[in-house]
Structure 1
Amino acid sequence: MASSSTPVRPGRYLSLFLVLLVGAYLLVFLTGDKKPEPKLGIDLQGGTRVTLTARTPDGSRPTRESLDLAKRIIENRVDGLGVSGAEVIIDGDNLVITVPGNDGGEVRNVGQTARLYIRPVKFAMPALTPEQVAEPEELQKQLSGGLPGGPGAPAGAPADRAPAQPPGGENPPETPADQAPPQPRPFPDEPPAQPAPAPNPSPTPAPSPSPEPGASPSPAPGGPQQPADPKAQRAERIAVEKQKRQSTNQLVQAMAVDEMAQRCGKDEEDVLVGNDDPSLPLVTCSADRAEVFLLEPAIIKGEQIKNATSGLDQQRAQWVVNVEFDSEAGRTWADFTRDHVGDRTAFVLDTEVISAPEIQEPILGGNTQVTGQFTEASARELANQLKYGSLPLSFESSEAETVSATLGLSSLKAGLIAGAVGFALVLLYSLLYYRVLGLLTALSLVASGAMVYAVLVLLGRWIGYTLDLAGVAGLIIGIGTTADSFVVFFERIKDEIREGRSFRSAVPRGWARARKTILSGNAVTFLAAAVLYVLAVGQVKGFAFTLGLTTIFDVLVVFLVTWPLVYLASKSPTMAKPALNGLGAVQQIARERRAAAQATRGK
């Protein structure tokens, strides 16, 4: 006898699958945004694309190695920000970042990553509002606190105080007592009228690069203006910004603070991004444009940060950012914090201050903790900026553009129509060839599709998985693999009937033989999908992922749905009729074989 000593309880298998299916849909409708829709990829729902143009300090073309490194770091940043379904590709000297959806804010944040430094804060003040800029006396009130370095030293130049000692030991220019102090004003206008101006108070712009052979010389002042070379014009602007915002002269610093206090509230391009010198001071704004900083030369580079993570401090009940330095930076940080308790230190990303915490106590070792009014999202963003913020290249800021999904939706519609036609043909063939067993095939495929859909919705909600056209192709092929498993099972039942067994006894024997083949076939398919997922890039990963997912659910459905349903059908006298189960031809073959065997034995 081939029957197992353990009784088969198909109701348990079906109940288990029903519990899993109902549980999955309860999670779909009762958790998260409660929308029973999977997240779609950029080729199905459209998305945002940002092109970042690489630049080098000397204007030369970036190397392939530096582009590859920048690509890997930006990919890590995208993953760290929780943006899924994103692609980062190298296109010439550009990096093209594409993410699903219409909100390009996170992509723009990714594009802001470049050079990260830690600089001591020498002076900070609130930026001016548009109303304060319109009232000059407000500026004097803001600047009256003075630059650090000397008691009461002014940042602008109020008349009754001496200027602060400049960095590097320079002596400030002496101003006679009867001479009116210089008033802050935009740089690089002509220097203030005074008998002994500060050294280089109004540096002249660096000369433009030599014109190419055959180019017309620059016109003389007052002559007809010719269109300037954009590259030379930008180089000149960068040189001017360096001179006024990275000067070691105190008066120039004061004028730069004056100008930045007015500029911080304006959303304009900062040409100094990626071109600042970490060995010089820097006048810049905070990322939220709320403060103006005069920063000292960098003490730690972004490359010296080994890791940065965000977490919830249980004792303080607030979100914090934990930063880990390498050994050299750890020693530098320990020495610095020991001597500067109470001072602020700025984390500067592409000349913008992303955080400026106060040193509360000396910190030994290679770890430190940044506290503040963080939310979970802001702490995670700062940790990612510190962890992935240092790139080998700087990039031109660019605007996000919307990518249309028209072509993708048309392709999806065509693919779904083709899939529906193929599915209908498979069911038609199953009904003609297997009769009622074909209905069980249809029911099993529907159960498999329902479970896969629920899991895709949950994966999109939990890990941000996005379904694209390649993923749809993987789903269709995976469902086809599920149908193959049914065919293997049914053919094993036929083999048992050909050997002379009844439909009732052939089902458990056929299942015992078929399940090994089904498991082996699905294991091969799953391994192929896993290898493809690990080795592939881009949309091919989506194909491999959905193929592997449907392969897993193929096994689940065959064991928990198809096998119990067929077993129940075998117990029904109605289903044993050849007209319903489509096994009449096979049973006829079995009868002919028995008759031939009996005739042979009779001889």
Structure 2
Amino acid sequence: MATTPGRIRPWRYLAGFAGIVVVLYALVAFTGDRSFAPKLGIDLQGGTRVTLTARTESGQVPPRDQLVQAQAIIEQRVNGLGVSGAEVVLDGNNITITVPGDQGEQARSLGQTAQLRIRPVVGQPIAASPAAPPVGQGTGGATTPPAGQDTGGTTPPAGESTAPAPSGGGAQPQSQGTGPVVDGAVAPVSYSTALAPAQQQPTPPPGGGEDPAKAAAIAEAKATRQSTDQVTQQQALLALDCNAPDPLRGYDDSSLPLVTCDQDKTAKYILGPTVVEGTQIASAQASQNQQGVGYVVDLSFKADGSKAWGDYTAAHIGEQAAFVLDGEVVSAPTIQGALYGNTQVSGNFNQQQAQDLAGILRYGSLPLSFEASDAQTVSATLGLASLEAGLIAGAIGLVLVFVYCLFYYRVLGVLTILSLVLSGLVVYAVLVLLGRWIGFTLDLAGVAGFIVAIGITADSFVIFFERLKDEVREGRSFRSAVPRAWVRARRTILTADAVSFLAAAVLYILAVGQVKGFAFTLGMSTVLDLVVVFLVTHPLVALASNSKIFGSPTLSGLGAVAKIGAQRRRQPRETAGSGSGTSKGA
């Protein structure tokens, strides 16, 4: 005997759905932080907003294409650093980074220009103290080398901690930090001809911009701190205040020497021209220091950069090379061998600092420099008030839908309510898991997406129920109408949900900001709608059709169409009976 199309074994489908629910909530309960609350966006839980103001060397308005490029790089950094739920918005000449929760400290570093350069250390660093001795009155007993002698590889004196770079075959012993030399004096030097030439970075001419004072400060800093005159270098070194804002941040010329400070503001350096540019970095990863405490950043270079760095280290073993990030010395290790492979950067990093630096270097330098901005705390009061109002409106709408379904469909309306409740259970578990696995955060736009998706789910029920009424109207019983109605309604439900999912996918690809959250929740709810309709609604209706109580036309809400169906069933019989009587009489 052939099986009726659409006839199923309901308990198998319901058991499959129950298994999905059990698996989801088991993952919620026994994986991750085991929190049963989804992650919330900044509008629902508050957070931090950081505004970065772009600046140019001339003080003129930054080019639009460079702002867009900077926004894209910062967005990559946001994803690479694992800052979940953050938004990067271009507002005029500013880039605003909004981070939910307590992750504001990570957002502060996202605007770092990240111009990493490797420069040779010339002479010895001196302490960054406000009262510097006059030129030529150092107490360290340093002597002036003969003309032409290269002192770019002067090793640090006893007591200074340096971080040697590892060779490609293994990590070299190293210690953390680039501490100051308190009694060191800087000797006049000439630069080694063995340094690899570095390409000069083009910069717009100063003057004529919106801030002439800023352009003049940059020009003055270049004239002194990047001078090739040895006396001028020493004067600039002694006059440099490490605690003052650095006008050369992001604007130093890679082909000239540089007088600068370390990131801790404790030591001052004279550095030679750049050996390797940060644009030659292929990858950067944070790892724990295997030779000491703290964390390091492992770098690998592109082909040209690896050769230039290997040739330089082979020719300058025992000398110091400084890793300079945005004009500040991060680390100044002593070269202990030729490094044609991976290299480590150490600088007393903790885990978070190493991960932040690796993420910034991994995605390249920004085309513009940005003014540092303090993070501002954003209150969730307005968002919570909006959420409360939205939930109240949604609850009122759902109650009206429930009342209408009960009045119009009766038992089928009860099945609609039960299906929506079970759908809500699945959606909630998926939200919690997505927050753990991909950092998805629920915001007001996402809540709106769920509310719209509830309507889509209800539409699927209506399509099925109305097709069921059509079958009963044709004269079939409730039990025989269910499989036929499902076969005919299934295609319509799949088509409608496919269109909704396609619209959500296109919106997600083209949209930005919170609209992406709306599109994501709408698409996810549409997929879950199919799961509920196929594994819950259809089996429950099939069970109801097999029950004498729930299959009653009065309780099922099919009484009116059942009467029409009964009349249609009687008409052929009456017609047949009438035709038979006439023939007999004849």
Residue in 1 that maps onto 2:376:
401
Counterpart check, 1:304 vs 2:280: yes
- CA gap of 1:158–1:119, structure 2 versus 1, over 3 A, is closer
Aligned equivalents of 1:31 and 1:274: distance in 2? 44
- CA gap of 1:524–1:6, structure 2 versus 1, over 3 A, is closer
**Aligned residue type for 1:587:** A
Q: Is the 8 A contact 1:119 1:345 kept in 2?
A: yes
Name whichever of 346-355 and 48-57 sits farther off: 346-355
DSSP 3-state at the match of 1:361:
coil
Q: How much does 1:441 deviate?
A: 0.8
Aligned equivalents of 1:209 and 1:165: distance in 2? 33
Q: Deviations over 1:221-263 (max 9, x none)?
A: xxxxxxxxx9455445445544554344555545655566xx5
- CA gap of 1:392–1:134, structure 2 versus 1, over 3 A, is closer
DSSP 3-state at the match of 2:97:
strand
Q: How much does 1:584 deviate?
A: 0.9
Aligned equivalents of 1:119 and 1:397: distance in 2? 25
DSSP 3-state at the match of 1:454:
helix
Q: Is the 8 A contact 2:296 2:349 kept in 1?
A: yes
Residue in 2 that maps onto 1:336:
312
1:62-81 aligned within 5 A: 62-81=62-81
RMSD (Å), alpha carbons: 3.7
Residue in 2 that maps onto 1:368:
342
1:388-537 aligned within 5 A: 388-537=363-512
Aligned equivalents of 2:153 and 2:402: distance in 1? 88
Q: Is the 8 A contact 2:322 2:333 kept in 1?
A: yes
Aligned to 2:322, which of 327, 332, 346? 346
DSSP 3-state at the match of 2:251:
coil
**Aligned residue type for 2:558:** L
Counterpart check, 1:101 vs 2:77: no
TM-score (normalizing by structure 1): 0.78
Q: Is the 8 A contact 2:300 2:342 kept in 1?
A: yes
- CA gap of 1:578–1:344, structure 2 versus 1, over 3 A, is farther
Q: How much does 1:404 deviate?
A: 3.1
Q: Deviations over 1:450-472 (max 9, x none)?
A: 11111111111221111122111
Q: How much does 1:542 deviate?
A: 0.9
Q: Is the 8 A contact 2:113 2:368 kept in 1?
A: no
Q: How much does 1:590 deviate?
A: 0.5
TM-score (normalizing by structure 2): 0.80
- CA gap of 1:572–1:319, structure 2 versus 1, over 3 A, is farther
**Aligned residue type for 1:66:** Q
DSSP 3-state at the match of 1:32:
coil
DSSP 3-state at the match of 1:90:
strand
Unaligned residue ranges in structure 2 (runs of 5+) = 145-150, 158-179, 194-205, 580-586
Aligned equivalents of 1:573 and 1:400: distance in 2? 66
Aligned to 1:273, which of 249, 260, 283? 249
**Aligned residue type for 2:270:** L
- CA gap of 1:288–1:427, structure 2 versus 1, over 3 A, is farther
- CA gap of 1:157–1:574, structure 2 versus 1, over 3 A, is closer
Counterpart check, 1:26 vs 2:2: no
DSSP 3-state at the match of 2:342:
strand
Residue in 2 that maps onto 1:50:
50
**Aligned residue type for 1:348:** V
Residue in 1 that maps onto 2:576:
601
Unaligned residue ranges in structure 1 (runs of 5+) = 171-207, 213-229
Aligned equivalents of 1:3 and 1:517: distance in 2? 23
- CA gap of 1:398–1:151, structure 2 versus 1, over 3 A, is closer
Name whichever of 331-340 and 550-559 sits farther off: 331-340
Q: Deviations over 1:332-383 (max 9, x none)?
A: 223212213344433322112344455443233xx53426587764443232
**Aligned residue type for 2:251:** N
Q: How much does 1:444 deviate?
A: 0.8
Q: Is the 8 A contact 2:83 2:103 kept in 1?
A: no
**Aligned residue type for 1:298:** T
DSSP 3-state at the match of 1:167:
coil
Aligned equivalents of 1:252 and 1:533: distance in 2? 57
Q: Deviations over 1:72-130 (max 9, x none)?
A: 111111111111322222222222222223442111101222533222333565866xx
Residue in 1 that maps onto 2:226:
246
- CA gap of 1:27–1:357, structure 2 versus 1, over 3 A, is farther
Q: How much does 1:283 deviate?
A: 3.1
**Aligned residue type for 1:450:** L
**Aligned residue type for 1:119:** R
Name whichever of 150-159 and 440-449 sits farther off: 150-159
**Aligned residue type for 2:34:** K
Q: How much does 1:313 deviate?
A: 11
DSSP 3-state at the match of 1:363:
coil
**Aligned residue type for 1:168:** Y
Q: Is the 8 A contact 2:142 2:187 kept in 1?
A: no
Residue in 2 that maps onto 1:190:
none
DSSP 3-state at the match of 1:399:
coil
Q: How much does 1:423 deviate?
A: 0.7
Counterpart check, 1:166 vs 2:141: no
Q: How much does 1:277 deviate?
A: 2.1
- CA gap of 1:577–1:331, structure 2 versus 1, over 3 A, is same
**Aligned residue type for 2:249:** V
Q: Is the 8 A contact 2:42 2:443 kept in 1?
A: yes
Q: Is the 8 A contact 1:167 1:249 kept in 2?
A: no
Aligned equivalents of 2:153 and 2:521: distance in 1? 67
- CA gap of 1:345–1:567, structure 2 versus 1, over 3 A, is farther
Q: How much does 1:13 deviate?
A: 2.0
- CA gap of 1:523–1:601, structure 2 versus 1, over 3 A, is same
- CA gap of 1:26–1:233, structure 2 versus 1, over 3 A, is same
Aligned equivalents of 1:115 and 1:428: distance in 2? 63
Q: How much does 1:400 deviate?
A: 1.5
Aligned equivalents of 1:456 and 1:145: distance in 2? 66
Name whichever of 581-590 and 347-356 sits farther off: 347-356
**Aligned residue type for 1:464:** G
Q: Is the 8 A contact 2:50 2:97 kept in 1?
A: yes
Q: Is the 8 A contact 2:152 2:319 kept in 1?
A: no
Name whichever of 420-429 and 59-68 sits farther off: 59-68
Q: How much does 1:56 deviate?
A: 1.5
Q: How much does 1:591 deviate?
A: 0.6
Aligned equivalents of 1:144 and 1:589: distance in 2? 112
Aligned equivalents of 2:481 and 2:245: distance in 1? 77
Aligned equivalents of 1:337 and 1:240: distance in 2? 33
Identity of aligned residues (%): 55
Name whichever of 355-364 and 435-444 sits farther off: 355-364
Residue in 1 that maps onto 2:82:
82
Q: How much does 1:287 deviate?
A: 3.1
Q: Is the 8 A contact 1:354 1:382 kept in 2?
A: no
1:512-591 aligned within 5 A: 512-591=487-566
Aligned equivalents of 1:157 and 1:431: distance in 2? 84
DSSP 3-state at the match of 1:68:
helix
- CA gap of 1:336–1:584, structure 2 versus 1, over 3 A, is same
Q: Is the 8 A contact 1:50 1:398 kept in 2?
A: yes
- CA gap of 1:151–1:209, structure 2 versus 1, over 3 A, is closer
Q: Is the 8 A contact 1:146 1:152 kept in 2?
A: no
DSSP 3-state at the match of 1:96:
strand
- CA gap of 1:375–1:360, structure 2 versus 1, over 3 A, is farther
Q: How much does 1:292 deviate?
A: 4.3
DSSP 3-state at the match of 2:468:
helix
Residue in 2 that maps onto 1:179:
none
Q: How much does 1:421 deviate?
A: 0.9
Aligned equivalents of 2:36 and 2:268: distance in 1? 47
